[in-house]
Structure 1
Amino acid sequence: MKFRKYRPRPTVLLTVAGFVLLIAASTLTYVVVRPSPADQPVLTLGGAKASGDDQPRGASGYTYQRLSKPDRTEITDSSGHPVAVMTDNARTAHLYGPSRTFEEPRYTDAKIETDMWVRLAPQTWRAGAERERWFTDWLAAARADRSPDVLAIAFEYVDGAPVKRDNQGQQYSGDASFGPPDPNDPEGRAERSDFYDYLALPWSFADGKSVLPDPSRNLALDCSGYLRMVYGHRLNYPLRGTNTPGEGLPRRAYAMAQFGPGVQLMPNSGQRARGMERLLPGDLLFFNAQPVPNGQIDHSGIYLGVDDGGHHRFISSRSQTDGPTMGDLSGAPLLDGIGYWPDRWLTARRL
């Protein structure tokens, strides 16, 4: 059988009509604000490029502030409005844009209202990358992009989500199951459903593993398969076919958490995670979902943000709900307070 080869596709930049960089002077002006020891350094880039130097120095009018825990750059415009958050050693970009509301009224009254759009930059971020051409070009396009982002794509697989097909008639989104009935659990569903099972396509990965879809798992995604569908198949983040270290997102939740790519946001002590203030929408969350917690990671989800009740909510594909949901069936998917999931949250990662 012919296998479909997984290769990263080149990043496509959208053309932003009417976007013009205004160069205020022929020389680059750096205004370094000297902070108090308790503050973070701020670098304002006042020009597009220096005289005699064709290297881009950052879009005009933006201010770049360095912060820690995790190390990151927060970008604001000339009016002081937030533009983006770029995290060191991660490709995940948090961009501010029109506010959206995410909800799943059949299973919860909670709503997520957010003005944050979660996308993947073409390269991992590092301090000073605002001066590089790839970033200035990408940021202009990304700020105008209104195609589905991580959060919107995540909701394309919840209960009742409409079917979408590509030009060849291949279904790539729509209501996903968790998996076939579990013979060992009459009330549950079996794991091991990856994105290629949902698609019913054979696949070859860059790490050399080739797989065939299981017909019984068609249109099914387990918890880590769901993350791989959203970030990998849909947004082209590199994927591995194994649970070994290396470039790309591994198959299982424990491997993603232990040695996956990106930045671990807090250590996994085997106890309830601390550092919730470090989270941003789109971050990967990892849990021990067993009735009696034992510190071993066996569940994963995507952080959505703070809901209208003031709670930190996530979305994940769960056996008991038979697929992805932000709903409260089988335990409200919250990180704060007292409950099934808060006590089982162990760590988080930003890709």
Structure 2
Amino acid sequence: MALNAGGLALVVGLTSIAYGSLDMARPSLSEISLGVAELPPATSGPGSQYVYQRLQTPDRTAIYTSDGTLVATMTDGARTGHIIGPPRTFEEPRFTKAKVHTDVYVHLAPKVWRAGAEQEQWFVDWLEKTRTEKPRDVLETAFQYTYGASPEKDSSGQQIAGDAAFGPLSDTDPDGRAENSDFYDYLGVSWTFPDKREKPAAAHILSLDCSGFVRMVYGYRMGFPLLGTNTKGPGLPRRAYAIAAFGPGVQLMENRGTRPRELDRLFPGDMLFFNAGPVQGANIEHMGIYLGVDDRGHHRFISSRSQANGPTMGDLAGESILDGTGYWALRMRTARRV
């Protein structure tokens, strides 16, 4: 570990996550993307220590302390909670000079949010526990699978994190990697879904394709329900196109078959979907996780990609940004918050 910007830096392989002071003249990501406005009067009830404000597009509730400090944002129809915490920095210097500074932590609430849930005891208890105990969130978990990330095992000795490949060399593309590496392939264990039972493929152990990476982070690690097939149901389907079309949560913009212009709707942790196929249009062949605005002013994401051979926020074989005229920017189609 080393000091970075006046704080503590946690180094995961060749990826650095730094916690500490930032340039206070720079607006925080919470001020930029989560919205700050005039607050309503305080309410009474279980959550009366906070002040709540309703916002739109998408419909959501912003939660403040009585002095106007933003604490969290909860989106209607989604379990994702955006909790404000100590500033930190995500970077992957081997593959990009860009850094993402953020004070937003992405956690899953035990229930889907709806307007008025701030007065329910489950939410008050969950918010307090999350703010106090500070469990590992979606973004930090995602970086546990980037290049050079150190292996991590659970109490049974099962490796649950560490540098992930995209997949074995492809039999059909001499320069590419094979898909079909789900989280259970990475783990090397059989898995029973509500709709299917699967066994790991030996060649895919410690590998995650694009949707497998997202399912590992949100499903296996964070506890969101998972499906084994590409059907609509109470969980994340297997493939990117199915998650985009009828997965759980809130679709943040319509898939019109062209790049969306509503990037200001995105919060860290949102699932992003791309047309990475040879024919342009509304088809979805790739997905990733939104990180936020980087220190160069670009909307940056992390995804597991064949040419990068695993999860990366870097710019190998295409910049990992949504604005501009790069490969991925032109191919983004929609986004979803689970």
TM-score band by shorter chain is 0.7 to 0.9
Tell me the equivalent position of 2:42: 45
Q: Following the alignment from structure 2 to structure 1, what is the Cα–Cα distance between the partners of residues 98 and 132?
A: 29
Report if the CA contact (8 A) 1:257-1:286 is conserved: yes
* 8 Å Cα contact 2:271/2:289 also seen in 1: yes
Task: Report if aligned partners of 1:205, 1:239 keep a CA contact under 8 Å in 2.
Answer: yes
Task: Give the Cα–Cα distance (whole angstroms) in 1 for the partners of residues 281 and 302 of structure 2.
Answer: 22
- Output the TM-score relative to the length of structure 2: 0.87
1:90·1:262 contact (CA, 8 Å) conserved in 2?
Answer: yes
Number of the residue aligned with 1:99: 87
1:76 deviation in Å? 1.2
* Aligned counterpart for 1:217 among listed residues 204, 211, 217: 204
Q: Quote how far apart the aligned CAs of 1:167 are.
A: 1.8
Q: CA deviation at 1:150?
A: 0.2
Measure, in 2, the Cα distance between the counterparts of 1:271 and 1:152. 31
Instruction: Determine if the alignment matches structure 1 residue 201 to structure 2 residue 189.
Output: yes
The partner residue of 2:223 within 216, 236, 254 is 236
Which residue in the other structure is 2:292 paired with? 305
1:272 to 222, 242, 259: 259
> Matched residues in 1 for 2:119 and 2:39: separation?
14
How many Å separate the matches in 1 of 2:132 and 2:336?
Answer: 27
Contact in 2 for aligned 1:193/1:220 (Cα 8 Å): yes
Name the SS for the 1:182 alignment partner.
Answer: coil
Range moving further from structure 2, 291-300 or 331-340: 291-300
- 1:231-253 deviation line (CA, Å, top 9, x unaligned): 00001100000000010000000
Partner of 2:124: 136
Which stretch shows the higher mean deviation, 257-266 or 143-152?
Answer: 143-152
Equivalent in 45, 48, 53 of residue 59 of structure 1: 48
Structure 1 stretches of 4+ moved >2 Å: 39-47, 290-295
Matched residue type, 1:239: L
The answer to whether residue 65 in structure 2 is matched with residue 77 in structure 1 is yes
Aligned positions of 1:1-351 closer than 5 A: 43-47=40-44, 49=45, 56=46, 58-60=47-49, 62-207=50-195, 209-351=196-338
Q: Which runs of 5+ in 1 are unaligned?
A: 1-38, 50-55
Distance 2:144 2:206 in 1: 12
Secondary structure at the counterpart of residue 90 of structure 1: coil
| Counterpart residue identity of residue 349, structure 1 | R
Give, in angstroms, the shift of residue 41 of structure 1. 9.3
- The 10-residue stretch of structure 1 (137-146 or 330-339) with the greater mean CA deviation from structure 2: 137-146
> Which residue of structure 1 lines up, in the alignment, with residue 22 of structure 2?
none
Query: Conserved in 2, the CA contact under 8 Å of 1:331 and 1:339?
Result: yes
Are the counterparts in 2 of residues 42 and 66 from structure 1 also a CA contact under 8 Å? no
Do the aligned residues in 1 keep the contact of 2:257 with 2:280 (CA within 8 Å)?
no
Q: How many residues in Structure 1 have an aligned counterpart in Structure 2? A: 303
Give the fraction of aligned pairs with identical amino acids, expressed as a percent: 60
Partner of 1:5: none
Once the two structures are TM-superposed, the CA of residue 285 in structure 1 deviates from its matched residue by 0.1
CA distance in 2, matches of 1:299, 1:116: 25
1:290 deviation in Å?
2.4
Letter in 1 for 2:88: R
Does structure 1 retain, via aligned residues, the 8 Å contact 2:39–2:68? Answer: no
* Residues 24-66 of structure 1: per-residue CA shift (max 9 Å, x gap): xxxxxxxxxxxxxxx999543354x4xxxxxx3x131x21111
Contact 1:178 1:318 in 2 (8 A): yes
TM-score normalised by length of structure 1: 0.84
CA contact (8 A) 2:252 2:336 kept: yes
Task: Give secondary structure in 2 for the equivalent of 1:181.
Answer: coil
What CA RMSD, in Å, does the superposition of the two structures yield over aligned residues? 1.4
Deviates more, 1:136-145 or 1:79-88: 136-145
Quote the offset at 1:155 in angstroms.
Answer: 0.1
Q: Report the Cα offset of residue 292 of structure 1.
A: 4.7
The SS at the match of 1:186 is coil
Between the aligned partners of 2:175 and 2:132, the Cα distance in structure 1 is 45
In structure 2, what is the Cα distance between the partners aligned to 1:41 and 1:249? Answer: 37
* Contact in 1 for aligned 2:92/2:314 (Cα 8 Å): yes
Whether contact under 8 Å (1:59, 1:136) holds in the other structure is no
Specify the code of the residue in structure 1 equivalent to 2:264.
E
